[in-house]
């Protein structure tokens, strides 16, 4: 599979980066992991057509991870004239939270006639879910967002890609990342304690236990960005918007 980092920022766009969104192209199509508010902008920057994306997998219900669905909908209806079905998989409650956000920002947008099927599915804690040939296992993490937050472990074309989502340290990250070809891990802070987020020192201390072949840090906040030169490990790199990686 081919991973493209569409957005690698924290919730605040630190460092001028876009909010969380990863594009995965594989043998049978393309999907997104998270869809922050800036996702359409990022997809266009990288030359992707949103109509080619069949599924959007969402880790948790914070605006910088699912807010982009609001713009996605009005673009699909009014601009790209989408016809292909779109499946959104996320925490229980995602459909109602999406509708509330869409109606707050673009009143009437959920009632406009669509020429494509918009389907929602929800994670069951730790239960593998198959969608369009992709198997995803949702591991419960710790990050209050009005619904259960997850780290997601993807099995695609015989490879494993795990994303931590947003979370403080929890032991479920160990099985989620174990043996993964790539573990994308949030790293909001460098050494500071950031509530409900990870810092580099914690990740570094747990690298041997996580057991991933490579770790890609994302969601860096101001303190992590300021100290990025001190993040040095042969199996770790830092995500940038536009980064492409074959997995």
Picking from 196, 153, 200, 149, the residue whose alpha carbon sits closest to that of residue 174 is: 153
Picking from 199, 164, 170, the residue whose alpha carbon sits closest to that of residue 183 is: 164
CA distance to 51, 86, 143, 208, 232, per residue, from 55 (Å): 10, 6, 24, 32, 35
Interacting residues toward Zn ion by CB under 5 A: 11, 62, 64, 166
Identify any residues that bridge with 118 across adjacent strands, giving them in sequence order.
86
Q: Whose Cβ is closer to Zn ion: residue 21's or residue 136's?
A: 21
CA distance to 114, 124, 231, 234, per residue, from 241 (Å): 31, 31, 18, 21
Closest approach, Cβ 189 to Zn ion, in A, equals 13
Closest approach, Cβ 149 to Zn ion, in A, equals 7
Closest approach, Cβ 182 to Zn ion, in A, equals 19
Closest approach, Cβ 166 to Zn ion, in A, equals 4
Q: Whose Cβ is closer to Zn ion: residue 7's or residue 50's?
A: 7
Give the integer Cα–Cα distance in Å for 131 and 119.
Answer: 12
């Amino acid at each position: 599979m081919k991973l493209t980092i569409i957005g690698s920022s924290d919730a605040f766009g630190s460092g001028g980066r876009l909010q969380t969104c990863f594009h995965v192209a594989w043998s049978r199509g393309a999907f997104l992991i998270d869809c922050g508010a800036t996702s359409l902008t990022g997809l266009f920057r990288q030359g992707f057509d949103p109509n080619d994306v069949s599924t959007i997998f969402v880790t948790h219900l914070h605006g910088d991870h699912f807010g982009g669905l609001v713009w996605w909908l009005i673009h699909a209806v009014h601009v790209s004239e989408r016809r292909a079905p779109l499946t959104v998989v996320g925490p229980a409650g995602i459909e109602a939270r999406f509708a509330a956000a869409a109606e707050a920002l673009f009143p009437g947008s959920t009632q406009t006639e669509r020429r494509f099927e918009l389907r929602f599915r929800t994670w069951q804690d730790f239960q593998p879910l198959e969608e369009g040939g992709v198997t995803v296992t949702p591991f419960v993490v710790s990050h209050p967002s009005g619904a259960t937050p997850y780290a997601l472990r993807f099995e695609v074309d015989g490879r494993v890609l795990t994303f931590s989502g947003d979370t403080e340290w929890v032991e479920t990250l160990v099985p989620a990342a174990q043996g993964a070809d790539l573990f994308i891990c949030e790293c909001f802070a460098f050494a500071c304690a950031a509530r409900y987020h990870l810092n580099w020192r914690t990740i570094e201390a747990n690298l041997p236990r996580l057991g991933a072949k490579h770790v890609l840090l994302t969601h860096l906040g101001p303190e992590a960005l300021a100290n990025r030169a001190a993040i040095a490990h042969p199996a770790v790199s830092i995500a940038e918007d536009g980064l492409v990686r074959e997995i």
